[in-house]
Amino acid sequence: MSSNVRNLARLPHSLGVAGTMMLVLASFPGWAQESAAIGQHARDVATGVCGTCHGPDGNSINPMFPRLAGQHAGYLVGQLKAFKEETRGDPYAIGYMWGMASGLSDETIDALGQYYAQQKTGPGRHHDAATIARGRDLFEHGIPSEGVPACSACHGPDALGNDMYPRLAGQHAEYILKQLASFQSNMRNIAVMHGVAQNLRDPEMQAVADYLESLP
Ligand code: HEC
Ligand code: HEC
């Protein structure tokens, strides 16, 4: 075979690679524009719609509305999908969030998760030292005699959470209490948190909720 023929034989392959590269390059700016547009749309939704209740940056003031700032994107996406699919079902979730989430596309949900995960959290709220000490003890050690596990085992030593478990640090105590009651009664039907909450008494829940609210 002459070298010309060999080169010709290789031609279609090299064209194929170059062609693919050109396609990738050509589509890249479009893709970047599209994801910037989705990011901007999510910011507009967050500040213009969600912000009424959750605060424009996710640092809500009213304890009925959970703080979303600094929460993990994966957890936020999971919850928004649970509202959209109507599986997170206590009365406030049904009344406030099912409708809110029903019109959000998966792309917007992902971008909202990113938006809130990037927002700065505020300082913790003051609670008296004795309550904080009781709450911290429960958070770090659970109540072995009651079969209550240490919360820190999943939510992390400083309650900052991770990709699998939500952040609890700085969350409104009132909201945390309401969620623990919902896990207990299975209105928010999550097996692992039902197991954790089933033997907690009201004063124990209050102490751990106050401790969590006091964290930055
Ligand atoms: C009219 C008030 C209101 C508006 C507007 C609103 N929410 Fe909510 N949201 C709530 C309430 C109340 C809850 C708590 C539900 C519960 O207690 O289970 C909640 C819960 C959530 C949660 C769960 C947080 C957690 O820690 O589990 C997420 C995520 C959320 N909202 C995101 C959004 C997004 C995104 C928007 C805008 C598209 C939005 N919300 C608009 C009232 C509102
Ligand atoms: C074995 C792991 C595990 C342990 C231990 C655990 N949790 Fe959780 N917790 C979870 C998971 C998973 C979720 C998210 C549930 C979901 O996806 O809706 C959660 C969610 C929560 C929420 C809801 C957060 C929100 O923003 O709505 C609260 C409040 C909570 N946990 C408090 C506690 C407390 C208090 C303890 C200790 C008494 C504890 N958890 C121990 C796994 C755990």
| Distance (Å) from CA 62 to ligand 1 centroid | 12
pLDDT beyond 70 at 13: no
User: What residues does each domain of the chain span?
Assistant: 3-117, 129-214
Q: Which CATH superfamily is domain 3-117 in?
A: Cytochrome c-like domain (1.10.760.10)
Convert the chain into a string of H (helix), E (strand) and C (coil). CCHHHHHHHHHHHHHHHHHHHHHHHHHHHHHHHHHHHHHHHHHHHHHHHHHHHHCCCCCCCCCCCCCCCCCCHHHHHHHHHHHHCCCCCCHHHHHHHHHHHHCCCHHHHHHHHHHHHCCCCCCCCCCCHHHHHHHHHHHHHCEHHHCECCCHHHHCCCCCCCCCCCCCCCCCHHHHHHHHHHHHCCCCCCHHHHHHHCCCCHHHHHHHHHHHHHCC
Indicate whether this model's pTM tops 0.85: yes
In short, whether 67's Cβ falls inside 6 Å of ligand 2 is no
In short, whether 65's Cβ falls inside 6 Å of ligand 2 is no
pLDDT tens for each residue of 25-79: 455 667 788 889 999 999 999 999 999 999 999 999 999 999 999 999 999 999 9
Architecture of domain 129-214: Orthogonal Bundle (1.10)
Identical topology for domains 3-117 and 129-214: yes
pLDDT tens for each residue of 93-124: 999 999 999 999 999 999 999 999 999 999 99
Q: Which atom of ligand 2 is nearest to the CA of 197?
A: 38
Ligand 1: which of 41, 45, 54, 105 to mutate, most ligand atoms within 8 Å of CB? 54
| Distance (Å) from CA 166 to ligand 2 centroid | 7
Quick one: what percent of the chain has pLDDT higher than 70? 87
Look over the chain and give the mean of its residue pLDDT values, rounded to a whole number. Answer: 90
pLDDT tens for each residue of 153-171: 999 999 999 989 999 999 9
Q: Cβ < 6 Å from ligand 1: which residues?
A: 45, 49-50, 52-54, 64-66, 68, 76, 79-80, 90, 92-93, 96-97, 100, 112, 178
